[in-house]
Homo-oligomer: A and B are copies of this chain.
Amino acid sequence: MQLSDGTTQPPTLHPMPFTRVEVALLSLVENRLCVLLGKRQEAPYKGRWAIPGGVVRIDLDADLEAAARRVARERLNVSLPYLRQIGAVGGAARDPRAPWALSVVYRALVDAQALAATPGKRLETLGWWPADAVQEAKPAFDHGALVAQAVDALRAEVDRLELPFGFLPPTFTLGELQALCEALLGRRLDKSSFRRRLAERDLLEPVPGEMRTGAFRPAQLYRARSLTN
């Protein structure tokens, strides 16, 4: 609503939720799917692990994704290449600091080594926790559930062969692709049904003349078909 002095005023007198963004970063560390947690420097949950997050700043952030990128810069000293929104959680019982707290949660699959995150504002230290052991960290707030959602969403994509091509090297053998998918899923895949499903979906194309030679017989190198269109 435009006021006569040129400022705007919220269209409601109701108090609004305490609104934050949280960023779940996933990576393979020593061939296991891990999530980046930061140890909190302040109450509530001081000394407990949490996924990095911060308040939406309507004076700074053009939109929700910009808020998530700013929070990642402030907390982790990194620029994130690529983010996917998981969704929003909100309710009266989520955060002892506020009567009602809403978080919009993002996830990204990153190269932990290339990213080189370091603890920023309000975080004492950072740690990569194995996705399947994150509950042992006893995460702050409802962040255990948020991590589980991020991990489930990534694994559902891999299960559907929505492959993380941005995370893969530009060319790879089918064996390398299967090993990557197995590491992300945390379980073994049947080789012949994996290859049959890949072929049916026509996701890959061989790189002409490119073979990888190694201890065993040479293997054809492939790349994502979409990258060449």
Contacts and interface: CB of A to CB of B under 8 A. Distances in A.
Contacts of A18: 10-12, 16
Given A17-B56, A98-B10, A87 B85 contact: yes
B85 A104 contact: no
Nearest to A56: B17
Interface in A1-39: 1-2, 8, 10-12, 14-19
Contact of A91 (B55, B63, B87, B88): B63
A12 B56 CA distance: 10
At the interface, is chain A mostly helix, strand, loop or mixed?
loop
Contacts of A58: 14-17, 92, 99-100
A202 interface: no
A88 B15 CA distance: 19
Nearest to A63: B91
A86 B92 CA distance: 21
B99 A8 contact: yes
A57 interface: yes
B62 A92 contact: yes
B19 A16 contact: yes
Given A17-B56, A18-B11, A58-B16, A90 B102 contact: no
Contacts of A64: 88-91, 102
A160 interface: yes
A54 B149 CA distance: 27
B97 A10 contact: yes
Contact of A19 (B8, B19, B59, B98): B19
A39 to B, nearest CB: 19
Given A1-B97, A56-B90, 11 more contacts: A8-B99, A10-B98, A11-B18, A12-B55, A14-B59, A16-B18, A16-B58, A58-B92, A64-B88, A64-B102, A90-B104
Interface of A: 1-2, 8, 10-12, 14-19, 55-59, 61-64, 67, 85-92, 95-100, 102, 104, 160
